[in-house]
Amino acid sequence: MKLLSKLFGNMSLDVNKLVDNVVTTDEERKELKIKFEQIFLEARANAEEQITRRWEADAKAGWLPANIRPMTLIFLTFVFVVISVFDGNLGGFSISPAYLPIYQTLLICCYSAYFAGRSIEKIKNK
């Protein structure tokens, strides 16, 4: 980090300062804000479209490309569960507290992705 600061000096990109230096009126600020929001929304829509295209291409490519993500998820989940269950459980069963936040995060992500994703798909299809 020190090397970069020696090479480039104290360069920090603050968008607000940059905008304030270029834009002088409130109307220009509002226009710029609207343009930034449009750019952000277009970028997000483009990213979602690319993901959809990738999934469609995977589904058309055959069995393995269509199922590699689910198989990877199943494999990693299985390995994690096996490791966390057998980690230090030779005498009595107890899950190490180090694994609890990981399980909590995985459950929240999986349930919210599945149920929220399915709900959104059903709403979009109507």
State the CB neighbour count (10 A cutoff) for residue 20. Answer: 11
Q: How confident is the model at residue 59 (pLDDT cuts 50, 70, 90)?
A: confident
Q: What is the overall mean pLDDT for the chain?
A: 77
User: Which phi-psi region, left, alpha or beta, contains residue 93 (left: φ > 0; alpha: ψ -120 to 50)?
Assistant: beta
Q: How confident is the model at residue 113 (pLDDT cuts 50, 70, 90)?
A: confident
Under 8 Å between Cβ of 88 and 66: no
For residue 1, pLDDT beyond 70: no
pTM for the full model?
A: 0.41
User: Which phi-psi region, left, alpha or beta, contains residue 62 (left: φ > 0; alpha: ψ -120 to 50)?
Assistant: left
For residue 117, pLDDT beyond 80: no
Question: What's the confidence (pLDDT) of residue 10?
Answer: 53
Estimate the crossing angle of helix 63-86 against helix 100-125, to 10 degrees: 150
What phi and psi, each to the nearest 5 degrees, are found at residue 9? 75, -160
- Residue spans of the domains in the chain: they are 14-61, 69-126
Structure tokens at 9: 């000096």
C-alpha torsion angle, residues 66, 68, 74, 75 (rounded to 10): 160
